Amino acid sequence: MAQVAAAGGEAGLAFRTHDHTHCTGDVLARAEAHLRRRGARMTPVRRRTLEILLEAHRAVGAYEVLDRLAQSGFGSQPPVAYRALDFLVDHGLAHRIRRLNAFAACMHPGEAHDAAFLICRSCGSVAEAPAGAVRQALDGAAAALGFAVERSNIEALGLCPACRGAAS
């Protein structure tokens, strides 16, 4: 399954070994603080959904989230997972990876940032990379046509360092 991690401060965690318990706890704490500042609530099902997305830095499909929620006692009806995932995406705590039809925890909850998702076509790992410069270029190209970008989802397909090394 795909792994997801942020580049930048956590440069390429999806592509290297790290203290996963620490990064998961840190992201959960920042996510909860972000919701408190916004006056929103981290319910048990929302928290468990975010934990599922964080468990292995991987993109997870909605039905896998639903299965894991059911195993945790939160019910097995699809709306349970979809409502929690929609909430996390709407509040900037998760991203939808369209190419994989899956979701990934945001590694920068509460921070305004543009991200690009680097998807390994061989192993399926995914890294969240800073994409401010890419977004500026996109906004410039759109403005030249009189268009205003409101939302974008940047995904790039290629090979991660491990798969590139294996291919050599």
For residue 58, what is the domain's CATH number? 1.10.10.10
Q: Can you list the alpha helix ranges (DSSP code H) found in 2-131?
A: 20-38, 44-54, 62-71, 78-90
Q: Which domain holds residue 30?
A: 4-167
Q: Nearest CA to 131 among 110, 105, 156, 157?
A: 156
| pTM for this prediction | 0.80
Going residue by residue through the chain (168 aa), what tens digit of pLDDT does each one get? 344 444 444 445 566 555 556 668 888 999 999 999 999 999 999 999 999 999 866 789 999 999 999 999 998 899 999 999 999 999 999 999 998 999 988 888 888 788 898 988 888 888 888 898 999 999 999 999 999 998 888 999 999 898 998 877
- Residue 131's φ and ψ, nearest 5 degrees, are -135, 30
- Residue 69's φ and ψ, nearest 5 degrees, are -65, -40
Largest CA distance in the chain: 52
How many domains is the chain built from? 1
CB atoms within 10 A of CB 51: 15
d(CA 25, CA 19): 10
